[in-house]
Amino acid sequence: MSWILLALISPILHGLSNILDEYFINKIFKNIRVLIFFVSFLNLILGSIIFLIKQPTLPTLSVLPFLIIIGLIEILYLVPYCLALKSTDTSVVASMFSIGHILVPVLAFFIIKESLQSHQYLGFLIIILSSFLLSFEPKKKFKINIALFYMFLCSLMLSIETVLYKYVCTIYDWANGFVWIIFISFVFIFIFFLISKKYRNEIKKEFPKFKQNSKLLIFEQLLTFTGELSAAYVISLIPVTLEKGISASQPIFVLLYAIILNKFFPNVFKEKIDKKSIFKKIFLFILMIFGIVITIK
């Protein structure tokens, strides 16, 4: 069961990076495209470190198309994710990643013929129901926060990416695949940088903010990078559906971090932490944990 502990590294680290993401998106970088460039650049540097440690191998022609698709998704999913963070609480956004826990087993079944038992699918139903209730706004006539729509798009892309990466792991080294995806992602960003003068001007304009907040942004990206690296390794070991089930604990860590950080930095992070909101979130997070327990049983 040591893989469960390894799988928990990702939600623990991503939980804190979600909090910092919200800070950068809502307080520092109003332009999402500019933030994506800086994040991709830092990710490229971190990925290069792995190449220095591990001898890289060129991807084969059979695996290259999948790496390209995954690399593109690594950029595109950030757009709805950032928009969701602008729309609702960070812990709610993190919980909506659980939508992918429903999509992953379906995609895994059709793409890599990976199936689970019926009670495990019940666990995913509980997870998605909890996500729905978290986004529901009872004071407004049957209104669902638009973040649910954004996170559905985000989770759909990440679900496709996860299943494709699991397939890559069956025919290619997981670590090499992980790093090549980072390089390919930056290539897409750099091409857009070269062809768009407006994009270059936006980056130049926001560079002083990057320089001023570089240490915190590097720390945030280090959390994200390490979380993704640990998740990639775990995916190479166990069914992707199980890895996604465990990662559903992420919003619990987000709420915990938000409560702690709010004592030191009040009104900095966008998170409702009044008693009623906390009770609702904790109840639904516990419901998610129940779904996780059913999933990994």
Residue pLDDT, tens place only, 17-57 = 888 888 888 888 878 889 999 999 999 998 888 877 777 78
* Domain assignment of residue 209, given as a range: 6-296
Coarse DSSP helix, strand, coil percentages of the chain, rounded to the nearest 5 percent? 80, 0, 20
User: pLDDT at position 141, please?
Assistant: 45
Q: Does residue 123 sit within a domain?
A: yes
Q: Does residue 41 sit within a domain?
A: yes
pTM of the full structure: 0.76
Q: Does residue 1 sit within a domain?
A: no
User: pLDDT at position 219, please?
Assistant: 93
Residue pLDDT, tens place only, 140-180 = 544 456 777 888 888 888 888 888 888 888 888 888 888 89
pLDDT above 70 coverage of the chain, percent: 77
Q: Does residue 127 sit within a domain?
A: yes
Q: Is the pLDDT of residue 16 over 80?
A: yes
CA distance readout (Å), 155 to 2, 62, 128, 236, 267: 27, 26, 12, 20, 28
Structural domain tally of the chain? 1
Q: Does residue 147 sit within a domain?
A: yes
Region 259-285: mean pLDDT is 72
Q: Dihedral sign for Cα 219, 224, 227, 233, please.
A: negative
137 pLDDT tier (thresholds 50, 70, 90): low
Distance CA 210, CA 255 (A): 27
Q: Does residue 94 sit within a domain?
A: yes
Which DSSP helix (H) or strand (E) runs through 143?
strand 143-144
Q: Does residue 110 sit within a domain?
A: yes
User: pLDDT at position 200, please?
Assistant: 92
User: pLDDT at position 108, please?
Assistant: 64
191 pLDDT tier (thresholds 50, 70, 90): very high
